[in-house]
Amino acid sequence: LGWTQDDLAVKAGLSKGFLSDLENGKRGISADKLFDLARVLSLSLDSLMENTGEQSDPRKEIEIPASLARFASEAGLSFRQTLMVLDMRRQIIAHRSTTKSDDPDMFDWQRFYESVREFL
């Protein structure tokens, strides 16, 4: 990307000192700030955390399952929170040892949200 640490800090809405501490392992990062970094770098949360460096297309359409959209509306989740819940589920499914694919419209989003809420 050719960005400096200052460039990344400005684009992600973070301080340069915070990024420096994060890079040197002196600080942790909240899910919200991690989401901001992933968005700015056009990376999925999974690739950012694995440090694979694979960029995703920021214009890629994301299909939100109808059942998740209903739950998010009822629970008052923001669009960002809804995307984070969906991304967390996809990451968990991707790391399963079985290849069985779950139907996202038959998924218990409320139960899943309650189990991951503290990480959002």
Q: Give the pLDDT of the chain (120 residues) as one tens digit per residue.
A: 788 888 888 988 889 998 888 888 888 887 778 888 888 888 877 777 665 455 545 556 778 899 999 999 999 998 888 888 988 888 777 766 554 556 777 789 999 999 888 877
What confidence score (pLDDT) does residue 105 get? Answer: 74
Homologous superfamily of 5-50: lambda repressor-like DNA-binding domains (1.10.260.40)
Cα(40)–Cα(37) distance, integer angstroms: 5
Q: Where exactly does CATH 1.10.260.40 map onto the chain?
A: 5-50
What confidence score (pLDDT) does residue 97 get? Answer: 58
What confidence score (pLDDT) does residue 25 get? Answer: 81
> Which one-letter DSSP state was computed for residue 96?
-
Count Cα atoms within 13 angstroms, Cβ side, for 120.
19
What confidence score (pLDDT) does residue 33 get? Answer: 82
Q: Residue 86 corresponds to which tokens in the numbers above? A: 């969906």
Cα(41)–Cα(24) distance, integer angstroms: 19
Smallest Cα–Cα separation from 81: which of 55, 26, 37, 118? Answer: 118
pTM of the model: 0.50
What confidence score (pLDDT) does residue 111 get? Answer: 92
